Structure 1
Amino acid sequence: MRVALKEVKQKTCKACGSKFRPSLSTQKACSVKCALDLAPANQDKARKAIAQRERREIKVRKEKLKGRADYAKEAQAAINRYVRLRDAHLGCISCDKPASWQGQWHCSHFRSVGAAPHLRFNLWNMNKSCSACNNFLSGNIMAYRPALIEKIGQDKVDWLECSNGIERHDIPYLKRVKAIFVRKARRIEKRLEETMSWIAV
């Protein structure tokens, strides 16, 4: 019994555009000349693909090398950024610098991370502060406290001052904190951009 050979489907040459019947299913050019013409473009694609794969591999290797302290640092940076954006319309919590002040703004903890690590990511405990108060006056707590009472209320400040706990945030928790506050910060930035574009119109 004779088996009929399947006819090879025509392809369009990627280099010159003419129709041809390939001898291999992966063949993209009708001739050696056209294949050579395609080579630089294919090399660029290959280089980009290799570079992309290398970047992914480096990222995975870096993730494996990271410890809890690295994840805590990333989570803290994400939540700090969110707090600065949340309080963008407010001045310094600890002094009379207005929101229009052109210096560097920080996220200041009412109870420090060293004294109350369990409150490290508590949003009542975190407020926008100028770099002078946060860096050089250790948060300027004498002025911080009455302003915080005005902002969140006496009950919440009392709770912060009396709260004692031992909490060692694990890596999955720190990853969640980072992811949540990166998203929240982006949402605020988007709203601010929309407001500014509306004002510009």
Structure 2
Amino acid sequence: MTAFRRTTCPHCRARLEPGQRIHAECIAPWADAQAEKAQRAQAKKARAAAKVERASIRARKEAIKTLADLKREAQTALNRWIVQIRDADKPCISCGRHHQGQWHAGHYLSRGAAPQHALNPMNVWKQCAPCNTYLHGNLIPYRVRLIELIGLEAVEAMENDNAPRKWTREGLIEVRDTYRAKLKELKGRTC
């Protein structure tokens, strides 16, 4: 079996004389190039380790979140989806006007009075800030328009449903991730 014989310089790629392994003038630049290559490999390894560390920190932070934290994140994701995607081109559900002001995700049955419906998309609709804040939801016209949208039976069923809901970590994470994914998908299409 014959040994491998290099025929070109590893640095400049020019032909070598028989018996040569590298040109004499290429030794220093080749060594510098090898040192730079080693530094790049070390930097890449450090970036990969930092990425793993960040993922570990993210997982630990997710593990220590309380149910209240997860419910707040799920509510925020649902509210953003409603205001920015589902009802983006619709007027305020209470007063019926379009304006350039701030929009809220207004709950027909308040989160305090009916926490079981806080994450129900049929209970949350786009509402202008004056109706939601200063008129405390402006509920009478809200109910009229809600009946037009989802029907009297659905509104009455929601009003009469007082069964408590126990949210689990997995359920809240699923709601949060579902609405975040919907928001991301639909925002990606419009951009």
Task: Compute the TM-score of the two structures, normalised by the length of structure 1.
Answer: 0.74
Residues in 2 aligned to 1:74 and 1:148: alpha-carbon distance in whole angstroms: 25
Greater C-alpha Rg: 2
Any idea what SS the aligned residue of 1:124 has?
A: coil
Q: Which residue does 2:16 correspond to in 1?
A: none
Q: Which residue does 1:143 correspond to in 2?
A: 141
Contact 1:86–1:188 (Cα < 8 Å) also in 2: no
Which of 166, 173, 176 matches 1:175? 173
Q: Which residue does 1:23 correspond to in 2?
A: none
Which of 102, 105, 115 matches 2:100? 102
Residues in 2 aligned to 1:81 and 1:97: alpha-carbon distance in whole angstroms: 20
Q: Which residue does 1:35 correspond to in 2?
A: 34
User: Which residues of structure 1 form unaligned runs of 5+?
Assistant: 19-30, 195-201
Q: Which amino acid aligns with 1:156?
A: A
Contact 1:119–1:125 (Cα < 8 Å) also in 2: yes
Residues in 2 aligned to 1:78 and 1:8: alpha-carbon distance in whole angstroms: 63
Residues in 1 aligned to 2:12 and 2:86: alpha-carbon distance in whole angstroms: 57
User: How far off its partner does 1:136 sit?
Assistant: 2.7
Residues in 2 aligned to 1:62 and 1:70: alpha-carbon distance in whole angstroms: 11
- Segment of structure 1 superposing worse, 68-77 or 132-141: 132-141
Any idea what SS the aligned residue of 1:107 has?
A: strand
Q: Which residue does 1:63 correspond to in 2?
A: 62
Q: Which amino acid aligns with 2:75?
A: Q
Q: Which residue does 1:130 correspond to in 2?
A: 128
Residues in 1 aligned to 2:122 and 2:92: alpha-carbon distance in whole angstroms: 15
User: How far off its partner does 1:173 sit?
Assistant: 0.5
Tell me the matched-pair count. Answer: 175
User: How far off its partner does 1:37 sit?
Assistant: 2.7
Q: Which residue does 2:81 correspond to in 1?
A: 82
Q: Which residue does 1:188 correspond to in 2?
A: 186
Query: How much identity, in percent, do the aligned residues show?
Result: 37
Any idea what SS the aligned residue of 2:122 has?
A: helix
Q: Which residue does 2:156 correspond to in 1?
A: 158
User: Which residues of structure 2 form unaligned runs of 5+?
Assistant: 14-29
The verdict on how the C-alpha distance between 1:125 and 1:60 changes in structure 2, with shifts beyond 3 A counting, is same
Task: Compute the TM-score of the two structures, normalised by the length of structure 2.
Answer: 0.78
Any idea what SS the aligned residue of 1:123 has?
A: coil
Name the structure, 1 or 2, with higher relative contact order (CA <8 Å, separation 6+): 2
User: How far off its partner does 1:73 sit?
Assistant: 1.1
RMSD: 3.0
Residues in 2 aligned to 1:9 and 1:72: alpha-carbon distance in whole angstroms: 68
Q: Which residue does 2:20 correspond to in 1?
A: none
User: How far off its partner does 1:102 sit?
Assistant: 1.5
Any idea what SS the aligned residue of 2:126 has?
A: strand
